Each structure stands twice: as C-alpha cells, then as structure tokens.
Structure 1
Amino acid sequence: MHFDPNDRQSLTARVYEHIREDIIEGRYANGAYLVETKLAEELDVSRTPIREALKQLELEDLVVSIPNRGVMVQGMSSHDIDDIFTVRYLLEGQAAYWAAERIDAVNLARLTEIVELMEMYTRKNDVANLARLDTEFHEVIFSASDSRILRHILTSLHRNTRQVRVNSLSTPDRPSHSLSEHRAIFEAIERKDAAAAKDAMESHVRNARKRRSAEGEAPDAQ
C-alpha cells in the first residue's frame, strides 16, 4: 500500500484510518503488538506518521503503550460493544427526534435515496452495500440533528461497530428486518413526527440488544 508522503496531514490521517480499521475489523488480534518499523514498511511510509497515528489510537483506547514492550492492541471487547449500544439507546433517539424537527431538503433527499438503495440491495442480499448504507443512514440523521456534539459521539460509536453490522447482516432474514426498521425511522422523519422518530430509533437499538441477549453474541446491525 502506498500513501502520498508529500501531504503530511493527509498522510497521518490515512495511516490512522487504515490501522484503526484493521483493529476494528479484527485483523489485529487483541493483545497483539504493533511494531512501528513493520507498519511503516507495510504502508510504505516513514515511522513519523505511524507514531502519530498510534498516539491518536491510544487516545481512543484502541491501543495501549506498554513501557519497554511497545504498543498493544486493545480492540473492542464484548463489554465495550454492550456499552456502545447502551449509549446509543440513550442518545440516538434524541438525534432522530431533532432530525425530524430540523432536517433540511438535502439531508431528506439523501435519506430517501439511501432507503431506496437499501430496498434494492436487500432484494439482492448484498451485505457489503447494506452495511455501507446502514452507516450512511445513521450519519445523515446525526447530521440532520444539527447537534455537533451528538454527531461527533455517535459517528465514533458507529465506526467502532462496523464489522458487527456486516456480521449481523449476513444472518438469514436480518436484512429485511433491518430495512423495515430503517424505513419506520425514515417515514417518521419525513413526516416530521419527532416523537415517532425517537420511538422508532429507540426500538431499533433496543431490538439489537434483545437479539444480543438471545444469541449471546455482539449486537446486531443498526
């Protein structure tokens, strides 16, 4: 892999995103050590952006620096995932409520497009595109809520559970159930029914927690 070494800010950001994605998707096992020189060689960059990226990841508790040993992957534990869904339940309903009140024409058009694409990819059982659209759907709502704080918190939480969504959408019947839940949220926002949007979003997240308890696995796609 090659990154443009002339764009320092973009270089560090891309290196950070690449390593972060590998951690979230489990390419680096929890407890594994990340070696700067090896990462620099793999990504064809100097050690400086690697070091800066690892510092940023440590601030997110995805890695931890161990004196005299190096940087160790912490990743996302089952407890972490459970915490994420608890926080999402508490906050995403409010984001949907505000989105119904504040959404503009651009974001509404994008939500409409996303739901239409979800319908098409559900028929095709295209898990990769469904997972991508799932993320986009929620991020549009975060943006439409017009709350910088909620957008920042919830976007980060969603990114940390991307692989969970992919895994869940691979299970039988989950894509169609997910589509129904997203459509209910969208329709409430479209008609500017803030209370219904909040209820639909909370039900959506609550259902994931119920499935997690029933299956004894990470929460389902959102």
Structure 2
Amino acid sequence: MNFLKAEQPQLFKDHAYNEIKTAIIQHEIEPGSMLNERSLSESLGISRTPLKLALQQLELEGWITSVPRKGIFIKTITRSDVEDIFQLRKANEVLVIELLIPLLDDEAIAKIEELDEQLSGKKEDHVQFVYCDSSFHLFLAELSQNLRLYQLIENLTDHFNWYRFASLKAGKSLDEIHYEHTLIIEGLKARNVRRTTDAVLNHIDKAYATLMVNFKE
C-alpha cells in the first residue's frame, strides 16, 4: 500500500490520521484487517509517536479498535452501525430540505446543477464519484444556513461514504444514483418541499437497500 509522506513535522500526526482514515473509507484497508504499526510508520515516513497519536484519534472516532495482546484492527461494518447512520442521514437531510427551499434563489439552483454535472462526469471513477456526491449533499446542507446541522451532516459523511464504497463494490449503479439526484433537483427547482424530501428519502433508501442486500457481517 502506498501512502503519501508528510513533509512538515508538525503535520505528521494529522497527515497519518487523514491517510489512514481515507484508506479505511475507500476500502483500501478492508474492515477487520490488522494494522501493523511498523509498516504504517515506514509507509507514511513518520516516527511511531505521531502515528500512535493518529491511531488514538481514529480509535476514539470508531474507525479502529485495539485488542490487548492481539493488535489493532479496522472496525467491521455492522448492520446496527449502518442502520444508525442511515437513520440519522434521513432525518437530517429532510430537515435540510425544509430549511433551504424558502432560501433558494436562481444562483443557488445553478450551483446545484453545476455540481450535478460534475457528478455525471465522474462515472468512470468511483472514488471521485462518491466525493462529488458528498459535495452535492454538503452544499445542500450549507444552503440551509444552519451551521450546526451542516457540521452534523459533515461528521456523518465519512462513515456514510465508508458504507457507500461497500455499496458500489456490491454493484450499485452510478447511473441510478445520478437519476436520483435529478429527481431531487427537479423538486428543488419547483420549490416543493414534499416532492424534494420524497426524492431525498428515496435516494437514501435505495442506497440502504442495495447495501443490505449484499451485506455480510
């Protein structure tokens, strides 16, 4: 596995944290895998001290777990975890739509359509597609003008993406996801809260269904 090497000492811990978390989210390191500190230290080009600090932060956030006398392991994706995240995502994205529609103007609609166009151009790159999709949803949250709601959705996004990469590996169609976004945009352009929230919930429910059909715990 190839990691970028940090160039500034003060960034070593943050660099290690970001690199390892990204590798976990993108399933470059599979759930349940054991981490080797010496190998990580060499790959990242850092000493064990900032690496340990990065691993401590990852464990606090629920990405890894330390097992006494056995080692450090990537957490597995459990059915309960997936259900919790999807429930939170649905509740909060519905609130986003309710808050943003009264605030929508033509400039915001144009930006939303621009983000959707960027998404349509990433179908050959699953990694970029997922991150563009996240940008689309985070921009909607930003338009709600509720900072705490935006921060909550932002914090959920990493775990949501972890599951979504698993969903894409299970065969989720990118064309289908793009079409679901089109329905959301049509609801936004009509300034119709019910139509848009129905489209958002359908989008999330389909992602959940696809993941659960192929779920192996």
TM interval, shorter chain, is 0.7 to 0.9
In structure 1, the residue matched to 2:97 is 96
2:183 is aligned with 1:184: yes
Inter-partner Cα distance in structure 2 for 1:80 and 1:141: 24
In structure 1, the residue matched to 2:164 is 165
Write the deviation string for residues 106-138 of structure 1: whole angstroms up to 9, x where unpaired.
65443221112334445xx55444323212111
Inter-partner Cα distance in structure 2 for 1:185 and 1:49: 43
Aligned length: 213
8 A contact 2:65–2:74 mirrored in 1: yes
**Structure 2 vs 1, CA of residues 210 and 37 (structure 1 numbering), >3 Å: closer, same or farther?**
closer
In structure 1, the residue matched to 2:77 is 76
8 A contact 1:103–1:145 mirrored in 2: no
Q: Give unpaired runs (5+ residues) of structure 1.
A: none
In structure 2, the residue matched to 1:38 is 39
In structure 1, the residue matched to 2:13 is 12
Inter-partner Cα distance in structure 2 for 1:183 and 1:47: 47
8 A contact 2:26–2:165 mirrored in 1: no
Please tell me the residue identity of whatever aligns with 1:152. Answer: Q
By how many angstroms is 1:84 displaced?
Answer: 1.6
Compare 50-59 and 70-79 and name the one that shifted more: 70-79
| TM-score, normalisation: structure 2 | 0.80
Write the deviation string for residues 162-201 of structure 1: whole angstroms up to 9, x where unpaired.
3543454577782232122111212323343333322221
In structure 1, the residue matched to 2:194 is 195
Compare 167-176 and 91-100 and name the one that shifted more: 167-176
Provide the secondary structure at the position in 1 that maps to 2:91. helix
2:148 is aligned with 1:149: yes
Please tell me the residue identity of whatever aligns with 2:153. Answer: L
Q: Give unpaired runs (5+ residues) of structure 2.
A: none
In structure 2, the residue matched to 1:217 is 215
**Structure 2 vs 1, CA of residues 190 and 172 (structure 1 numbering), >3 Å: closer, same or farther?**
same
Inter-partner Cα distance in structure 1 for 2:63 and 2:119: 31
8 A contact 1:24–1:163 mirrored in 2: yes
Identity of aligned residues (%): 24
8 A contact 1:139–1:151 mirrored in 2: yes
By how many angstroms is 1:44 displaced?
Answer: 0.2
Inter-partner Cα distance in structure 2 for 1:139 and 1:162: 13
Please tell me the residue identity of whatever aligns with 1:184. Answer: L
8 A contact 2:166–2:211 mirrored in 1: no
**Structure 2 vs 1, CA of residues 176 and 50 (structure 1 numbering), >3 Å: closer, same or farther?**
same
By how many angstroms is 1:21 displaced?
Answer: 1.7
Please tell me the residue identity of whatever aligns with 1:148. Answer: L
| TM-score, normalisation: structure 1 | 0.78
Inter-partner Cα distance in structure 1 for 2:82 and 2:173: 19
